[in-house]
Amino acid sequence: MDKAFSTRAVHAGRHDFISKGVHAPPIDFSSTYPTPDLEVAARSFDSMVSGDSPEGNSFVYQRLFNPTTDRFERALAELEGAEDAAAFASGMAAFSAVLLASKSRGTHIVAVRPIYGTADHLLTSGLLGMSVTWTTQDAIAAAIRPDTALVVIETPANPTLELVDIAAVVRQAGSVPVIVDSTFATPVLQQPIAHGAAMVLHSATKFLGGHGDVLAGVVAGAHSFIRDVKHVRAATGGLLHPLASFMLHRGLPTLALRVERSQDSATELAVRLADDRRVASVLYPGLPGHDPRGLLGHQMLGPGSILSFELGSDDPAVMRAFLGALEIITPAVSLGSTDSLIQPPAALTHRVVEESAREAVGISRGLLRMSVGLEDVRDLWRDLDHALAEVASRLEMRPRAAALTGR
């Protein structure tokens, strides 16, 4: 039977519950495991160190394998339509392991800006001994070299919410695998593997965790890729802690509810902001003209619950006054939590990206990125409206409806 996403999200990773006689996933905190049969343990060790499964119940040591984390990985892989997944102590740990695992194919990366600021920094700095060519989604083919190991894209892009056409990028990449950071979309709205991506990456800290209390990352894809990633993880560390895995697994059944509810609110707030003359511009895929490639409803089921906007002033003092006047929306980095968060990317999440690179892709000093949470949308709008009123005398008024057209 072909089950709907929400049904699979409720049951993923729980198939053995009846036979185990449990109704919630057991948590296994063991850092080490008994090895009564040395031969089995040795074979299991060899298997796990190279990124494969343990033999029977011989898990040997937590860095190599943890049943609670494995259970969450299987659940997430199922929701992404992937063969396998590997969970890490953060999104950046997952991305680093993917990059290190790809080095057997080459040390050159092709990537499309903008992406998450620290991911940009990791690639630009050459910290892992790899070089990067930044390009646009239409010029991937020209940037590919014989030593290109990976193409990196993020859609919707952080923080401009630009949508990248995954299938078109995959076609241009040819035999080079493409990884999609799908953190903003979640598997509720977008499943990159179905569009030809080799791997999908999530900062599980965001929507998957969903409650602002877990730091985690996960990468899903074909066995052949995830095996290499797990090989790196077994050698370098970074396995997700079993309690964090339990919490992420616990959140999956409500993921669709949370994403859809906050998306409805984000859609309404984007329209209101776009219609407000105190706001200079709004970036949100759901606004008319903001999805030039027609990816909504096809690659991505809905516009998501993150939006960005600029006030009618780029004076930092005005931005500080605006943020200070908010009562419900918390000024903070991160996103995808139950509560709404707002932050200026140029000053915080993307401060590690060179200013010229930021400006080139539309991350202005005045840009604010808002993650819409589960509060009542009327309260959220009242909060924004009140804070805008506080600074209104210092804002330049925009001609009506000018922000409704795309960049």
Ligand X SMILES: *Cc1c(COP(=O)(O)O)cnc(C)c1O
Q: Which residues belong to the active site?
A: 63, 116, 181, 206
Q: Closest distance between ligand X and the C-beta of residue 389, in Å?
A: 30
Distance CA 115, CA 91 (A): 13
Q: Which stretch binds ligand X (CB under 6 A): 69-77, 165-173, 201-209, 369-377?
A: 201-209
Mention every residue, 6+ apart, whose C-beta is less than 8 A from residue 87: 69, 72, 73, 76, 94, 204, 216, 217, 218, 239, 240, 245, 248
Distance CA 269, CA 277 (A): 14
**Of residues 68, 102, 172, 205, which one binds ligand X by CB under 6 A?**
205
**Of residues 58, 69, 90, 262, which one binds ligand X by CB under 6 A?**
90
Residue type, 275: D
Mention every residue, 6+ apart, whose C-beta is less than 8 A from residue 226: 51, 82, 83, 84, 85, 86, 199, 219, 220
Distances (CA, A) of 65 to 123, 235, 272: 29, 12, 49
136-175 mask for ligand X (x: CB under 6 A)?
A: ------------------x---x-----------------
**Of residues 41, 109, 119, 152, which one binds ligand X by CB under 6 A?**
119
User: Counting contacts by CB under 6 A, is residue 183 touching ligand X?
Assistant: yes
Q: Which stretch binds ligand X (CB under 6 A): 2-10, 84-92, 364-372, 391-399?
A: 84-92
CA atoms within 13 A on the CB side of 173: 28
Position of minimal CB gap to ligand X: 91
- Closest CB to ligand X among residues 181, 276: 181
- Cβ proximity of 335 and 329 under 8 Å: no
CB atoms inside a 10 Å sphere around CB 97:
24
- Closest CB to ligand X among residues 149, 179: 179
Distance CA 388, CA 397 (A): 12
Distance CA 294, CA 364 (A): 25
- Closest CB to ligand X among residues 92, 395: 92
User: Counting contacts by CB under 6 A, is residue 92 touching ligand X?
Assistant: yes
Note the residue count of the chain: 407
User: Counting contacts by CB under 6 A, is residue 265 touching ligand X?
Assistant: no
- Closest CB to ligand X among residues 148, 183: 183
**Of residues 91, 192, 238, 373, which one binds ligand X by CB under 6 A?**
91
User: Please, which residues bridge with residue 203 across strands?
Assistant: 217
Distance CA 118, CA 120 (A): 5
- Closest CB to ligand X among residues 10, 347: 347
**Of residues 8, 206, 230, 290, which one binds ligand X by CB under 6 A?**
206
**Of residues 9, 101, 188, 215, which one binds ligand X by CB under 6 A?**
215
Q: Closest distance between ligand X and the C-beta of residue 134, in Å?
A: 16
- Closest CB to ligand X among residues 208, 403: 208
Total of chain residues touching ligand X, rule CB under 6 A? 14
**Which spans of this chain sit near ligand X (rule: CB under 6 A)?**
90-92, 116, 119, 154, 158, 181, 183, 203, 205-206, 215, 217
